[in-house]
Amino acid sequence: MEERRIVALGDIHGNIEAFRQLVVGLGIVSASMRWVAHNTILVQIGDICDRGTESRSIYRMIAEWQKQAPLVGSEVHLLLGNHEVMEMFGYDRDAGLEEIQGYAERDDSSGYQEHRTAFAPGGWLHDWLLGQRATVQVGSIVFGHGDLPVSFQYRTVGEIHEEILADIREHAGKPITDPDLLPDSLFSESRSLIWSRESRDNEYYSYALEHFLTQNDASLYVCGHTPSVEGKFTLKCNGRYLCIDTAMGFEERGIGRRTALVIEGGRAWEWVFRRERIDRRKLPIRLDRRASGRSY
């Protein structure tokens, strides 16, 4: 099978202008936002919603690309971030008025009811999100939203994914009498793949991560969730951990950069999108040939 290019995008948080610049500039879609890239795997790391001005259109585009991409030998994966999960449980504290209004179906609507209904069980967005991934492995690369908890070093990618989706199906939409009783897999900041910021560039964490990667026949863990206010990728653990959240959702505050992770030919690159040009920086990461293989 011909090697496939892998592209990963970090937390967008409703920044639709950044999103459009990335996917068009990477040659993934046309100017009309139709999928055109052959033999390409796109992974969006989660947290499309909240904080920004537009998320509904981004979700709709990704859903369409998931239909179009396989026609040219490509794949599109959306991971569930902590903000997707919060919205699926009715926690919309980080959704701004402009973003909510984007869900309105009538001119005289504020969009609040449509937004809440879309994310609630039975809503179009909730049901579609249940068909997405909590974590995914592409060749020798494992993608997740947050840091890998140390306690996950003995677990498989499939087990983690199935647990998170099962807990969403079981608990979303039910009355929450005690938030502390919600599953750790969904809301624990130390025991959830979608919430954890537990990574440390030290021997103890590196050992746990290495054990997890070996367990899953992988060589690299890529995540988002922890924004770099300098707008740079964060590489740790002897090149085994890479966080690609470069604070694209915080551009209105004057921080962050528009970036993408691109893997092709067995090499990893950080693409930085500026107003006038695109800069590319080779990352000191060792990847074997499996990095362009099948996903599961």
State how far the Cα of 247 lies from the Cα of 229, in Å rounded to an integer.
6
pLDDT of amino acid 176? 81
- The count of residues in the chain is 296
More confident residue, 174 or 134: 134
For a pLDDT cut of 90, what percent of the chain falls above it?
Answer: 88
Q: How many other CB atoms are there within 10 angstroms of residue 125's CB atom?
A: 22
- pLDDT tens track for 189-240: 999 999 999 999 999 999 999 999 999 999 999 999 999 999 999 999 999 9
8 Å CB contact between 95 and 115:
yes
pLDDT of amino acid 252? 85
- The CA-to-CA distance between both ends of the chain, in Å, stands at 16
State how far the Cα of 146 lies from the Cα of 88, in Å rounded to an integer.
18
- Spatial neighbors of 105 by CB under 8 A, at least 6 apart, are 114
- Spatial neighbors of 151 by CB under 8 A, at least 6 apart, are 191
Q: 173-182 contacts: CB < 8 A, separation 24 or more?
A: 173/120, 173/121, 173/122, 176/89, 176/90, 182/89
8 Å CB contact between 84 and 55:
no
- Spatial neighbors of 183 by CB under 8 A, at least 6 apart, are 167, 170, 171
Angle between helices 16-25 and 56-68 (to 10 degrees): 20
State how far the Cα of 81 lies from the Cα of 47, in Å rounded to an integer.
5
State the CATH number of the domain containing residue 243: 3.60.21.10
- pLDDT tens track for 118-129: 999 999 999 999
pTM listed for this prediction: 0.95
8 Å CB contact between 233 and 246:
yes
Q: Which phi and psi angles does 159 have, rounded to 5°?
A: -60, -45
CA 235 to chain centre: 17
Structure tokens at 195: 């919430």
Structure tokens at 144: 């997740």
Q: Which phi and psi angles does 37 have, rounded to 5°?
A: -75, 125
Query: Order of strands across the sheet with 220-223?
Result: 135-138, 141-144, 220-223, 241-243, 234-236
In 3-state terms, what secondary structure has residue 224?
coil
What amino acid occupies position 126?
A: H
Domain residues for the domain of 182 are 5-292
- pLDDT tens track for 241-290: 999 999 999 998 889 999 999 999 889 999 999 988 999 999 999 787 45
Per-residue confidence band for 296, with pLDDT thresholds at 50, 70 and 90 = low
Sign of CA dihedral 102, 106, 109, 112: negative
Sign of CA dihedral 282, 284, 290, 296: negative
pLDDT of amino acid 1? 34
Q: How many domains does the chain have?
A: 1
